[in-house]
Structure formats: C-alpha cells, structure tokens
Structure 1
Amino acid sequence: MIRKCIALVVPARLGEDVTARSLDVRYGTLQALYGPRDCIVRGDWQAYLRADNGGNLGPNLRAMQLLHETGLYLPEVAGNALFLGSTEHGWATDAPEHLIRLAERLFDMRLVAVELV
C-alpha cells in the first residue's frame, strides 16, 4: 500500500528548487529514489539524510542551514534531504507547516505542495 505525505525536499544542488511535494514515504521507496537514508526525529518532524555521506556529493548547505535554525547542529549533510512530520509513535506524516514556513523564509521562496503523478 502506498503511503503518501507532503515532504519538504531540500536538494543538495543549489540550482534545484526546494519543494513541498507528495511522496510515497515507505522507507524502501525513499531509499530507491534517494539512496540510503538515516532518520533523525526531532519533536514533531523527522529528517531523512544521506546515510553514506553522499559519496562524491558536496554538502547540502540549505539543509544544514535549516537544521541549524531548528537547533540541530550536524557537521555535514550531503545529498538531498527530506523532511516529514512525525507522530508520537514514529509514523511519518505531512511536513509540519512551521518547518515549511521556516524554509520559505530562509530560502526566500514560496513552497506550494504539489502532487506527483
């Protein structure tokens, strides 16, 4: 069964837009689309970050900035970062509105949730 949620997607490449979009959030699907992932849970949200430091990918400066603004300091984040909401039982839900608004402010853009085909 497909489990879709609105995810805040922060690409590593600065030329790619940060988006809020509907994704199938099953772990295997995320791993197939984005590579190996580690999950960090923080309050009402969770971040899926590259588990292997991205190989030859450079740092994801925007994801690092967003994490820093939430009070989470990581030495480096590589590859695309995915942010979702989190329930008290650890289930993925839509990315919280406050996190999307923070990304909009930090990256000076309006994020509109889009549905993937």
Structure 2
Amino acid sequence: MRTICTALIVPVRTSEPVRVQNIVVGRRALEDLVGGEIETVTRGDWDVCLNADGVNAGLPPNLRAAELMRDCGLDLADAARGTVVFLGRGSHGEPADAPGHLVKRAEDLYGGLAA
C-alpha cells in the first residue's frame, strides 16, 4: 500500500516557490526531493526531511526552511541545506499531511504557496 501525503516543499532556490504537493511518501521519493540520503527530525506533530549530508556535500543553505523551522521552535539552521520537505506525523508515527498550522505559517512568511 502506498501512502500519499500532502507535503510542504521548500526549495533552496528562492526563485522557486514554496509549494504544497501530494507525494508518495517513501524513502526513495524523499531522497529524490532532498537530493540524497534523508535525515528526519521530529517536532511535535510534524517531521522535517533534510539531506543528511548537505553540509559535507556543500549544498547551499536553505534560508527559507531554516526561518520556518526556527519560527516553529526548531533551530537547525546549519542542517537546512538544499530542498527541505515538511510532513505531518500521525498519532502512531506514520507519515501524514503537513499540518495546517505549518502551511499557514509558510503562507504568512512567503505569500501564496504554489500547488
């Protein structure tokens, strides 16, 4: 069974819009989005998926994702490299849609989100 969730995707390039997108949640799909092996950090009802080797690989800092994380109580500014993906976290740890409060905060920070 494939799990499809609505993800909040924050590209590293500021010329690309922050977007909300339905994705098939799985290691391979997330690795494709972040550009390498994923590292997942949990904060309350959401997870942030980062490139695990972003610093060593010399990926550029993702200032928008770092700002959003910091604004939501998670300070991982140096770890936010390359594209960053936010997902929700279900009551049993399963992937879920990105929570509305996180999407709303991203809208507040960056204007309308692309679909």
TM-score (norm 2): 0.89
Q: Secondary structure at the match of 1:23?
A: strand
Q: Secondary structure at the match of 2:87?
A: strand
What is the Cα-based RMSD across aligned positions, in Å? 1.4
Q: Secondary structure at the match of 2:102?
A: helix
Distance in 2 separating the partners of 1:24 and 1:83: 13
Q: Does 1:7 align with 2:7?
A: yes
- Alpha-carbon deviations, 1:41-86, whole Å to 9, x = none? 1111110011002513210000000001011111411010000000
Q: Which runs of 4+ in 1 moved over 4 A?
A: none
Shift of residue 2 of structure 1? 2.6
Identity in percent? 40
Distance in 1 separating the partners of 2:29 and 2:85: 13
Identify unmatched segments of 5+ residues in structure 1.
none
TM-score (norm 1): 0.88
Give the count of matched residue pairs.
112
Match of 1:36 in 2: 37
Q: Does 1:47 align with 2:48?
A: yes
Q: 2:97 aligns with which of 94, 99, 108?
A: 94
Identify unmatched segments of 5+ residues in structure 2.
none
